[in-house]
Amino acid sequence: MSAPLHDPEAPREPVRLKLAALRAEPLPATFKGLPAIAEGVFLQDLDRLKLSLLDGDLPLPAAVLKESALTHNARWMRAFTGRAGVSLAPHGKTTMAPQLFQRQFDEGAWGMTAATAVHVRTYRRFGVPRVILANQLVGKADLELVFRELAADPSFDFFVLVDSAAGLDLLRTAAIAHGLTRPVQVLLEVGTPGGRTGVRSVEEGAALAALIQAASPAIALRGVEAFEGVYSGADTARVELGALTMIETVAELTRRGCADGWFAPGEVLLSAGGSAFFDMAAKTLAAVEAGGTGHALRVVLRSGCYLSHDSLQYERMQDRMRQRAGALWGEGPGLRNAIEVWAYVQSVPEPGRAICTAGRRDLSYDACLPQPLWWYRQGTHDAPQAAPGSWTVSKLNDQHAFVDAVAAADAGEGALPLRVGDLIAFGVGHPCTTFDKWPLLYTVDDVYRVTGGVRTFF
C-alpha cells in the first residue's frame, strides 16, 4: 500500500462531471416552481420554453440563481485563490448541485468537500474525482458507501477527518476488515474548547498524530484541518480571535508534523476556511513552510457559500473580510448575491401587512429571517422595484411570509403599496438552508428570463 502522490506541477486534466443523464432527465410534475408547460421537459431544454418570471410564467414560490452573479462569483474566487496561492475544494453541501460543481471545477477547483458518506456517494455518481469528507466517518453502512468507492476506482482521491482515538480505531478496524488495498488518507481535525468536533489543543493534536502514525499502513496521515466557522456572533474581536487561533493551530501542527515526520509521503494538506474567514485561512496557512523536510504543502480552502453568496449574513461578513484581506481581496467589492426566492402577495389583510406565498419550506430562517429585495407589478412596472428597507419579514409560517412595513402605523397605507397578485423577491441569510428546500432552482438572466435549471440532491 502506498499513498497516491500529487505533483502540484503536473498539468491538470479538466474535470468533466457526468451530467448528461441529469440534463436529459424529464422534469417531474411534482417539483414546486415548475409550470405546466415544463412538466416532463428535459432539464437541458428548459431554456427553450422562454419562461419569464416577471411575466408570471412560473408558479410561485420559485427559487432563482442569477447567471451574471454566479459567473462573477466563480471567477472572483478563482482570482482570489490565485492571488493567495491556495487551492479550493468548495463545500458541496451548500448546493448539492452537480451542475454547480462543474462550474466550480471549470474555475479551477482542486476538489470538492462533502459532509456525509451519502454526499460522497452522490459526488461519485457524478464523477467528482477528489473529495474531502470534512467529518469523522462512523457507522457500518456509511463506511461501506465510502470504501466501495475507494475499492472501485484507484484514482479516486479521498480524504477524511480523524479527531479522536475512538474515531481512528473505528476507521482503521473497518479499513482492514474491508481489505482495502490502499491507505485511507486522513486529516487530523483541529477544534476548539467549547466548539464542535476536533482536538482542543496542539498537545491533543500531537498525541492523536502519534496514534494515526501507528495505524499505518491502513491509515495515512496526509494533513491537518479545521473548520473555524464554528465561531460566529456579534462579538467580532472574540470571533476573529477564536477563528484565527484555530487556523494557527493547523499551521502549528503542520510545522510540527513536518519537522517530526508525522505525515505520509506526498503533499501535506492544510485545510480551513469556511465562507466567513477564508481570507484569514489563506493568509495564515499560505505562510507555513515545510522547513526543508521535502514535503510539498497545499493549502485547501473549503468555502461552500461563495458561489451563490447571499444578501444578508455572508454579505455582512464580506465587509469585514474585505477590510481584513487588504490587497489580497483585489479590486471591487467582491462577491454578489445570486440567490432569490420569488413569491406572490396572496393577501393584504390590514394596512402595512402583506402575506406572501413563501415560507419556512422555501427560505432560510436559521441565521436571520429573509428580507424583501424587490417587488413587481405586472402591467405597471418595467422592472423590479427595490423594496424599501422599512419592509421586513416579521414572521415565517411553513408556507407564508409576513411582510410588514415597519413605519406603517405612522405612514398610513402608503407605507406598503403591495396588492394581491404583486410579485415579491426575498433575499436570504445563509444559502445552504435555502438550497436544500428546492429540488430545482432556475438560472435567470438579469431580467429574470429562465436560462436553465439547476437540480439539487438533498
List binders of a copy of itself among 47-106 (CB under 8 A). Answer: 55-60, 93
- Contact residues for 31 (Cβ-Cβ < 8 A; gap 6+): 439, 440
CA dihedral for 19, 24, 25, 26, sign (positive or negative): positive
Q: How far apart are the first and last CA of the chain?
A: 35
* Closest CB to a copy of itself among residues 289, 350: 350
Q: 149 to 178, contacts with a copy of itself by CB under 8 A?
A: 163-164, 166-167, 170
Contact 360, 341 (CB under 8 A): no
344 interacts with a copy of itself by CB under 8 A: yes
Q: How far is the CB of 397 from a copy of itself (least distance, A)?
A: 7
Kindly give the residue spans of alpha helices, DSSP state H, lying in 178-326: 202-214, 236-260, 278-286, 313-325
CA 24 to chain CA centroid, Å, is 26
* Closest CB to a copy of itself among residues 108, 384: 384
Q: Which of 295, 309, 437, 449 touches a copy of itself by CB under 8 A?
A: 437
* DSSP state letters, 416-437: ----TT-EEEEE-S-THHHHTT
Q: At what angle do helices 236-260 and 278-286 cross, to 10 degrees?
A: 30
Could you tell me which stretch among 10-18, 78-86, 327-335, 417-425 binds a copy of itself (CB under 8 A)? 417-425
346 interacts with a copy of itself by CB under 8 A: yes
Q: Which of 44, 71, 116, 451 touches a copy of itself by CB under 8 A?
A: 116
Q: How far is the CB of 85 from a copy of itself (least distance, A)?
A: 29
365 interacts with a copy of itself by CB under 8 A: yes
Q: Which of 6, 75, 78, 125 touches a copy of itself by CB under 8 A?
A: 125
* DSSP state letters, 95-141: T--HHHHHHHHHTT---EEESSHHHHHHHHHTT--EEEEEEE--SHH
Contact 97, 131 (CB under 8 A): no
Q: 179 to 238, contacts with a copy of itself by CB under 8 A?
A: 191, 193-200
Interface mask toward a copy of itself for 130-149; x: CB under 8 A = -----xx-xxxxx-xx--x-
421 interacts with a copy of itself by CB under 8 A: yes
| Phi/psi at 55 (5° precision) | -80, 0
Contact 164, 132 (CB under 8 A): no
Interface mask toward a copy of itself for 368-407; x: CB under 8 A = ----------------------------xxxxx-x-----
Q: How far is the CB of 163 from a copy of itself (least distance, A)?
A: 5
Which residue type does 31 have? F
Q: How far is the CB of 195 from a copy of itself (least distance, A)?
A: 7
Q: How far is the CB of 140 from a copy of itself (least distance, A)?
A: 4
Contact 393, 403 (CB under 8 A): yes
Q: Which of 276, 439, 449, 453 touches a copy of itself by CB under 8 A?
A: 439
* Distance in angstroms (rounded) separating the CA atoms of residues 209 and 217: 14
